[in-house]
Amino acid sequence: MKCHIINQSKEKKYKEFYPLIRKYFKQTFKTLELTGNYEISLILVDPERIHEINREYRGIDRETDVISFAEIDGENEFDFEEEREENNVNNQESV
């Protein structure tokens, strides 16, 4: 099980919530009885960035509170690795 929390927003206060987020990740995996090679990522972004992602990947020209992307067998419309590299993400924690 791999869990990633990536903060691309300007807000640094989110870091105080990382332990709680990790707890929910772990509980979710346990409740769903997921074992093996599973991964979940949470990327925190500013409203402007979520607006851009909505427009580019969903054809929605506005911000929303949440966007989710499923990855099945390594195929995904949204490239998380590319997103991390493009934004030089240094504020990443894994559990």
In this prediction, residue 35 has a pLDDT band, given cuts at 50, 70 and 90, of confident
What confidence tens digit (pLDDT) does each residue in 49-80 have? 999 999 998 899 999 998 887 776 555 555 55
With beta carbons less than 8 A apart as the criterion, state whether 2 and 34 touch: no
Q: Is the pLDDT of residue 89 over 80?
A: no
41: confidence class by pLDDT, cuts 50, 70, 90:
confident
The pLDDT of residue 64 is 92
> If you average pLDDT over every residue of the chain, what do you get?
80
Ramachandran sector of residue 88 (left: φ over 0; alpha: ψ -120 to 50; beta: rest): left
The answer to whether 61 touches 54, Cβ cutoff 8 Å, is: yes
